[in-house]
């Protein structure tokens, strides 16, 4: 569980970096290996979405179905949280979270083939 949270922290912070700077940061091989469930040498959209769905659940410490700033304060600053909180209600729903990270996945997919390598 702790490994999921740590990897989720990295993956989500990388996704936010894409949104903030327009430049995706590369994952190292160990991170790619953890997300590459079918071991084909790439992380596809379904693998990334499944991981990030699990990460959302792990990050939701109070199990209320949303992420509040206190739950993600170590990985998101106030501006990043606000940018992800599409409806501005002070919490990130799973849809808001996934919309952000999947948009960032697409931005990081430079070849457009649905895979990160």
- Which pTM does this prediction carry? 0.75
For residues 113 and 106, give the distance between their C-alpha atoms in angstroms, rounded to a whole number. 9
| Confidence class for position 22, pLDDT limits 50, 70, 90 | very low
pLDDT at 20 over 50: no
Give the CA distances from residue 7 to residues 16, 30, 31, 56, in Å, rounded to whole numbers and listed in that order: 14, 10, 7, 11
Cβ-based neighbours of 80, under 8 Å, separated by 6 or more: 16, 19, 20
Residue 23: count of CB within 10 angstroms of its CB: 10
77, pLDDT greater than 50: yes
Which residues, at least 6 apart from 116, have a Cβ–Cβ distance to it below 8 Å?
27, 32, 42, 43, 44, 48, 105, 108, 109
**pLDDT tens by residue, 47-57:** 999 999 999 99
117 pLDDT band, cuts 50/70/90, is confident
What's the confidence (pLDDT) of residue 75? Answer: 85
Q: Confirm if 105 and 53 have CB atoms less than 8 A apart.
A: no
pLDDT score of 8 more than 70: no
Residue 35 pLDDT exceeds 60: yes
Structural domains of the chain, with CATH: 2-110 (1.10.238)
Give yes or no for residue 81 having a pLDDT over 70: yes
Q: How far apart are the first and last CA of the chain?
A: 25
């Amino acid at each position: 569980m702790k490994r999921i949270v740590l990897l989720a922290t990295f993956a989500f912070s990388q996704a936010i970096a894409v949104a903030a700077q327009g430049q995706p940061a590369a994952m190292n091989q160990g991170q790619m290996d953890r997300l590459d469930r079918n071991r084909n040498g790439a992380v596809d959209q379904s693998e990334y979405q499944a991981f990030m769905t699990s990460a959302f659940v792990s990050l939701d410490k109070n199990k209320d179905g949303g992420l509040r700033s206190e739950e993600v304060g170590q990985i998101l600053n106030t501006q990043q949280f606000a940018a992800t909180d599409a409806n501005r209600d002070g919490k990130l729903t799973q849809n808001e979270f996934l919309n952000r990270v999947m948009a960032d996945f697409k931005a990081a997919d430079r070849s457009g083939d649905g895979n990160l390598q």
